[in-house]
A = this chain, B = another copy of it.
Amino acid sequence: VAQDLQAGPAVAVTPFADRLAEAVERKHSQLVVGLDPVVEQLPEELRDEALLGRPHAASAFTRFCCGIVDAVAPHAVAVKPQSAFFEALGADGVRAFEDVCAYGRAAGLVVIADAKRGDIGSTARAYAAAFVQPRGDAPPLADALTVNPYLGRDSLEPFLAACRTGGAGLFCLVKTSNPGGADVQDVTLADGRPLWHHVAALVRELGEEVVGDCGLSAVGAVVGATFPREVQQARQLLPQAVLLLPGVGAQGGTPSNLEGAFASGPASALVSASRSVIYAYRTDGGDWRAAAGAEAERLARDVWAVSGR
């Protein structure tokens, strides 16, 4: 009974993948806009305020990210606030993170908290509570969370429980967008596979019990858009997973390389861009909101076109 109480009442919730698939079809978009606020890159009027100290910087982050949310909401299906940039401002920053997540949800966007958490079971339960479980009477902070697989199955189980009972989504790191990911993820196993194939198999197995009506699972996989060949392989290894593909834009990935990622349907891959969208005003000029909106619109259109091929 205590277990049941913790997990919340057994009301019917829409599985994460079904909510996502509906939103993708409705908006004709698989674009995820990453929210990576950095003081030095903020528009001038916000940067000046941010330099006054942490609480001011946190307030500037909130206003910047909410402005971006407004600008990209018509074009993106999701936003992905990156916890690290908010945590760099301490508790004030975490408050801003909470506000930005709530604002994104209120704007009708799927909110993916990019926090890459992973810990042993008793601790992972606390992380699940922090990010993807209802907070008292309040809804969960985010719709989905990025997680790290290094600690294995039992470390992912508490998050999986939130998928089962609360309609949460997970995106497990599989093959990351950075060059250094190869140091661990590409190590060759005794059976000839790279390690990340083994992790993909683990993700596939975990995801099998939380597949929605749309045929996609609540357990997705992070695969760097910077590695198009690996994206294709991941699609084959994980036919029911939503692939979250970061690294488009500033990191060098392009939508045209990602065609095969959508083989399991329009919602089976999400393309994530951060700096190239939110700081578009720095290269394109003009109002920062308008520049971000225009870049999001362009990118979403490109991705949608690629996904329909």
Q: Are A176 and B148 interface neighbours, CB within 8 A?
A: no
A252: Cβ under 8 A from any B Cβ: no
Q: Are B91 and A129 interface neighbours, CB within 8 A?
A: no
A195: Cβ under 8 A from any B Cβ: yes
As a 0/1 sequence over residues 69 to 96 of chain A, the CB contacts with chain B under 8 angstroms (1 = contact) are 0000000000000101101101110110
Taking CB atoms, residues of chain B closer than 8 Å to A178 are: 120-121, 151-152, 154-155
* Chain A residues numbered 18-61 whose CB sits less than 8 Å from any CB in chain B: 36, 38, 53-54
As a 0/1 sequence over residues 171 to 214 of chain A, the CB contacts with chain B under 8 angstroms (1 = contact) are 00100111111111101111010010011001000000000000
A118: Cβ under 8 A from any B Cβ: yes
**In whole angstroms, how far apart are the Cα atoms of A88 and B6 in the complex?**
14
**In whole angstroms, how far apart are the Cα atoms of A199 and B184 in the complex?**
7
**In whole angstroms, how far apart are the Cα atoms of A149 and B148 in the complex?**
10
A259: Cβ under 8 A from any B Cβ: no
Taking CB atoms, residues of chain B closer than 8 Å to A54 are: 135-136
Taking CB atoms, residues of chain B closer than 8 Å to A151 are: 173, 176, 178, 180-181, 184
Given contacts A98-B90, A117-B84, A202-B184, contact A150 B173 (CB under 8 A): yes
Q: Are A82 and B123 interface neighbours, CB within 8 A?
A: yes
**In whole angstroms, how far apart are the Cα atoms of A148 and B119 in the complex?**
10
Taking CB atoms, residues of chain B closer than 8 Å to A38 are: 126
Number of copies: 2
How many residues of chain A are within 8 Å of chain B by beta carbon?
61
A153: Cβ under 8 A from any B Cβ: yes
Q: Are B87 and A127 interface neighbours, CB within 8 A?
A: yes
| Secondary structure dominating the interface of A | helix
**In whole angstroms, how far apart are the Cα atoms of A123 and B80 in the complex?**
13
Q: How far is the CB of A38 from chain B (nearest CB, A)?
A: 8
Q: Are B184 and A150 interface neighbours, CB within 8 A?
A: yes
Q: How far is the CB of A123 from chain B (nearest CB, A)?
A: 5
A124: Cβ under 8 A from any B Cβ: yes
Q: Are A152 and B129 interface neighbours, CB within 8 A?
A: no
**In whole angstroms, how far apart are the Cα atoms of A152 and B184 in the complex?**
6
Given contacts A150-B184, A195-B195, contact A94 B84 (CB under 8 A): no
Taking CB atoms, residues of chain B closer than 8 Å to A192 are: 190
Given contacts A84-B130, A123-B84, contact A150 B148 (CB under 8 A): yes
Question: Which 3 residue pairs of A and B lie closest in terms of their CB atoms, listed nearest first?
Answer: A154-B180, A152-B180, A152-B183
Binding site for B on A (CB under 8 A): 36, 38, 53-54, 82, 84-85, 87-88, 90-92, 94-95, 97-98, 116-124, 126-127, 129-130, 135-136, 141, 148-155, 157, 173, 176-185, 187-190, 192, 195, 198-199, 202
